[in-house]
Amino acid sequence: MEFIVKSGNPEKQRTACVVIGVFAPRRLSPSGEELDQASDGYLTNFLRRGDLEGKVGQTLLLHNIPNTLCDRVLLVGCGKERELTDNQYRKIVATAATTLHETGALEAVSYLVEIHVKGRDIRWRVRQAVEATRDALYRFEELKSKKDETRPPLRKLVLALPQRSDLPDGESAAREGVAIADGVALAKDLANRPGNICTPTHLAEQATALAKRHRSIKVEVLEAADMKKLGMGSLLSVARGSAEPAKLIVLQYKGAKKKDKPIALVGKGVTFDSGGISLKPGAAMDEMKFDMCGAASVLGTLSAAADLKLPLNIVGVIPATENLPSGTATKPGDIVTSMSGQTIEVINTDAEGRLILCDALTYAERFDPDVVIDIATLTGACVVALGAHASGLLGNHAPLAHQLLNAGKTSGDRAWELPLWEEYQEQIKSNFADMQNVGGREAGTITAACFLARFTKKFHWAHLDIAGTAWLSGAKKGATGRPVPLLTQYLIDRSTEKGRGAQA
């Protein structure tokens, strides 16, 4: 769908639907006032009768408003004026989008970006309007023989800016919003595909397709034989139980000078996690098709970075494999040698994410990265600690952690830091190898990061545990595309900081 920004009066819009905000209790937004005046108090009449209180989530569709050029007006509740939070704004935009979709309107002009959100400027409101609209209208229907809905989708949304002078900012914010929304949709599509379709080979093909779409992206796919030569005994130990060949997918986006150190993104790509010999219980095991959401977020973020032509170099590294039990599978107690030379006692084959990430992280060293960020659906413990609202963040470099936390706040795709103290390293000591792959019941998210920390000593590193944020369960089961917004925001922030540096 297409997003356009422009400025102009609501009564003059020749469109299927004009979207107008209403504050609680029953107070019109500035564009609502304009429309009301043009129509001789038509809107205030409705409000006075109590048809719409103005609470967040409420809507009212009106037809045939006098002295206007639009077919309908959709009034959307915006809550108390001046008290609106980031999340309420997104919810208002999403409600408008779903209601527009239900009306069957093919295009609309929305005045919701004029709504004041605490501490947020017009750029932020436009970008979030684009992202929240796309998020609300996303459907995954490629595997249904009949589509759930026969309605034609909303094709075009015009975002009406309060002032003409907002146009340049509005346009660039809309462009960012679309690039991020496209990256999010790519990540969602990949993750929603089942394990029998989205295999390691499929991920490699999709990475190759992404590189085909962008001249700035190159891709290389390493096979099991290549990984064996590199000494990736840890990664390969996870793939041993599976008939699907493992892949190490390496992408390079070049948007800056050759000598500029790249930002490396390493994404866990377990296309199905049964637990291996340490088999998981059956309940909700289908959701372990989402265990490649880290990988999907790397591809989604690279897509957004390339669309925005960010002046950065970025490397994506995706270790991709299934984790299945079989006669050849790795067994509890087996000891494997990682590419770094460190040996690992595999106490639990279900702690496989760290086993593939450690070799991918060692591999990332060869790019002499400025920073390395890994993204993984790594621990159930993170879901217990933070739920679905924040990704877990740990790392070895405070400024990097700080920048990522800030990018999370700006994008609305938040993370929360957990401590990576030396004391926790005790829990992964082994009697038989350099370390073991699990640290017991306590602080599971932290001990998983402790394990990774042993492979990231040579660079600045952060780890995002997205086990709770990458997908939703229950009636809304499906991938969220997180943390593509956070990562893209971090990259945008890095680009502008660079731009400022160049000017200085």
Binding residues (CB under 5 A) for Mn ion: these are 273, 350, 352
> What DSSP string describes 311-354?
SSEEEEEEEEEEE---TTS--TT-EEE-TTS-EEE-S-TT--HH
Alpha-carbon gap, residue 9 to 28, rounded angstroms: 15
Tokens of 353: 């994410």
3-state secondary structure at position 442: coil
270/312 with CB nearer Zn ion: 270
- Of 108, 83, 111, the C-alpha closest to 2 is 108
Length, in residues, of the chain: 504
Is 353 a binding residue for Zn ion by CB under 5 A? The answer is yes
Q: How far is the CB of 288 from ligand BES (least distance, A)?
A: 6
Rg of the chain (C-alpha set) = 25
Counting contacts by CB under 5 A, is residue 176 touching Zn ion?
Answer: no
The amino acid occupying position 32 is G
Residues β-bridged to residue 296: none
Least distance (Å) from Zn ion to the CB of residue 246?
14
**Residue 273 binding Zn ion, by CB under 5 A:** yes
By Cβ distance, which residue is nearest to Zn ion? 273
Q: Which of the listed partners (Zn ion, Mn ion, ligand BES, none) does 245 bind, with a CB threshold of 5 to 8 Å by partner kind?
A: none
Question: Of 71 and 334, which CB lies nearer to Zn ion in the complex structure?
Answer: 334
Instruction: Decide which of Zn ion, ligand BES, Mn ion, none touches 264; Cβ closer than 5 to 8 Å per partner kind.
Output: none
Active site residue 280: yes
- Comparing CB distances to Mn ion, the nearer of 10 and 269 is 269
How many residues belong to the site for Zn ion (CB under 5 A)?
Answer: 4
Nearer residue to Zn ion within complex by CB, 166 or 322: 322
Cα-based distances in Å from 212 to 219, 265, 459: 9, 20, 30
Q: To the nearest whole angstrom, how small is the minimum distance from the Cβ of residue 429 to Mn ion?
A: 21
Of 453 and 467, CB closest to ligand BES:
467
Q: Closer CB to ligand BES, residue 21 or residue 269?
A: 269
In the complex, least distance from residue 451 CB atom to ligand BES, rounded to whole angstroms:
10
Residue, CB closest to Mn ion? 350
Measured from each CB, the residue nearest to ligand BES is 380
Report what 467 binds from Zn ion, Mn ion, ligand BES, none; CB cut-off 5-8 Å by kind.
Answer: ligand BES
Q: How far is the CB of 270 from Zn ion (least distance, A)?
A: 5
* Least Cβ distance, residue 80 to ligand BES (angstroms): 37
Catalytic residue among 6, 26, 27, 280: 280
Quick one: what does residue 347 bind among Zn ion, ligand BES, Mn ion, none, with the CB cut-off 5 to 8 Å set by partner type? none
Strand segments, DSSP code E, in 377-475 are 391-395, 415-417, 435-436, 461-465, 471-472
Find all residues with CB under 8 Å of 374, minimum gap 6, and list them. 265, 266, 267, 268, 294, 357, 360, 361, 452, 461, 462, 463, 464
379 binds, among Mn ion, ligand BES, Zn ion, none (CB under 5 to 8 A by kind): ligand BES
Burial of 323 (0-12, 13-18, 19+ CB in 10 A): buried
Binding site for ligand BES (CB under 6 A): 273, 291, 348, 350-353, 377-381, 383, 438, 444, 467
- Identify whether 354 is a catalytic site residue: yes
Choice between 117 and 351, CB closer to Zn ion: 351
How many whole angstroms separate alpha carbon 81 and alpha carbon 117?
A: 9
Q: Which 289-328 positions form the footprint of Zn ion (CB under 5 A)?
A: 291
Instruction: Report, in Å, the least distance between residue 49 CB and ligand BES.
Output: 49
CB of 361 to Zn ion, least distance (A): 16
Bridge partner list, 415: 391
Q: Which of 240, 354, 414, 482 is catalytic?
A: 354
Here the contacts of 235-239 (C-beta below 8 Å, separation 24 or greater) are: 235/319, 235/321, 235/339, 235/355, 235/356, 235/358, 235/359, 235/360, 237/330, 237/334, 237/336, 237/346, 237/355, 238/270, 238/276, 238/321, 238/323, 238/330, 238/349, 238/352, 238/355, 238/356, 239/321, 239/322
The CA angle 457-461-464, to the nearest 5 degrees, is 130
Name residues whose C-beta falls within 8 Å of residue 476's C-beta, 6 or more positions apart in sequence: none
Could you tell me which of 241, 466, 484, 220 has the C-alpha nearest to residue 363? 220
* Total Cβ atoms within 10 A of residue 57: 13
With respect to Mn ion, which residue has the nearer C-beta, 166 or 352? Answer: 352
Q: Known catalytic residues?
A: 280, 354
Binding site for Zn ion (CB under 5 A): 270, 273, 291, 353
